[in-house]
Amino acid sequence: MMKMPNVRLAALGATVLHSFSATAQNMSYGADNFYRSDNVTVWPVTFPTLYRTTVAGNLFLPNDLDTTANNSAIIVGHPMGAVKEQTANLYATKMAEQGFVALSIDVPFWGNSEGEPRNAVSPDFYAEGFSAAVDYLGLRDFVDRERIGAIGICGSGSFVLSAAKIDPRIAAIATSSMYDMGAFNRDGLRHAQSVDQRKEIIAAAAQQRWVEAAGGATAYTGGAAQVLTELSTDVEREFYDFYRTSRALFTPASSAPNLTTHPTLSSNAKFMNFYPFNDIDTIAPRPLLFIAGDRAHSREFSEDAYALAAEPKELFWVPGASHTDLYDRVEMIPFAKLVDFFRTHLVRN
């Protein structure tokens, strides 16, 4: 996630520090977004949603998988505005190395998944992507339908919770660096955005609808900064480092480089109606694991979800980690915790 509705572009004239530099920036703690494992085979797959659109995914199979057995499977969703090649493939690979069938997906409207216009926001459709992935996995004869779990990273943390509330086939749910995309768009970080400011954003989206309804060009909002200036905030720098340098720069065939991470402005207002934590307690008795860095600017979202969820639930802090550290820094991401969580909970009752 990278959209900052309440942050104006840096003042004109500020010194531009970087522009589309593909230079690796901070690669500390084993940053390895594009990690591939010799022990895992990757299969590009596609499958339909309930609405007959196509979702694209990568199926990661352990090379020593017993395909005559019923195996546990884990779906992985990428950060908001990203694609499966960013973060989701890494988590899926690490889970497959530990014996799980793993499936990373592009949420609808992003990456290679269908949906027009590109980069549209539809939290309901994003959640449907996870349920469509359950359909796909459950139809594989090497997957046990009762042992399918999911990991949602950043915005996908809120989409997977939204999916799980109405899809009991998702048996265990973990989030990492979760962003509640509803609360964030309504209220900003730490409730820094007033209702009047929210209304300005809604009004701008409504105005843009007029433009597009009359055949005008699509407009985009937020997104990871394309350039850093001396006025850039820490949050902007953090997302820039991940999305705009070779650390994790990736442009899917369906996107222009300057549109990656940028949702369409008119559809972004849909997030204002997104309340992923309402009724979160009804996911119980299925277990929830919320993983976040204790330095993450997004930590309030994991705290809020944890407070509202019912048992069994766990809030797992990663000491010293920021929001994007848990995207790709393999020495910080608690993969062993995830493996333990899914080994414990993806069992037949």
Ligand X SMILES: *[C@@H]1O[C@H](CO)[C@@H](O)[C@H](O)[C@H]1NC(C)=O
Residues in contact with ligand X by the rule CB under 6 A: 26, 28-29, 37, 39, 68-70, 97, 144, 220, 256, 258, 322, 325
Cα 175 from Cα 150, distance rounded (Å): 8
Q: How many CA atoms lie within 13 A of 200 on its CB side?
A: 10
Q: What is the chain's alpha carbon radius of gyration, rounded to the nearest angstrom?
A: 19
- Residue 93 sits at the vertex; the CA angle it makes with 53 and 157, to the nearest 5 degrees, is 55
Q: Least distance (Å) from ligand X to the CB of residue 165?
A: 25
Q: How many CB atoms lie within 10 A of CB 27?
A: 15
Length of the chain: 349
The residue among 21 and 70 lying less far from ligand X, judged by its C-beta, is 70
Q: Least distance (Å) from ligand X to the CB of residue 267?
A: 15
The residue among 37 and 53 lying less far from ligand X, judged by its C-beta, is 37
Q: Least distance (Å) from ligand X to the CB of residue 162?
A: 28
Q: Least distance (Å) from ligand X to the CB of residue 209?
A: 17
- Interior/surface letters 56-69, b for 16+ CB within 10 angstroms, e for the rest: bbbbbbbeebeeee
Cα 343 from Cα 139, distance rounded (Å): 21
The residue among 213 and 256 lying less far from ligand X, judged by its C-beta, is 256
Which tokens sit at 59?
A: 């199926």
Q: Least distance (Å) from ligand X to the CB of residue 187?
A: 26
The residue among 258 and 273 lying less far from ligand X, judged by its C-beta, is 258
The residue among 37 and 54 lying less far from ligand X, judged by its C-beta, is 37
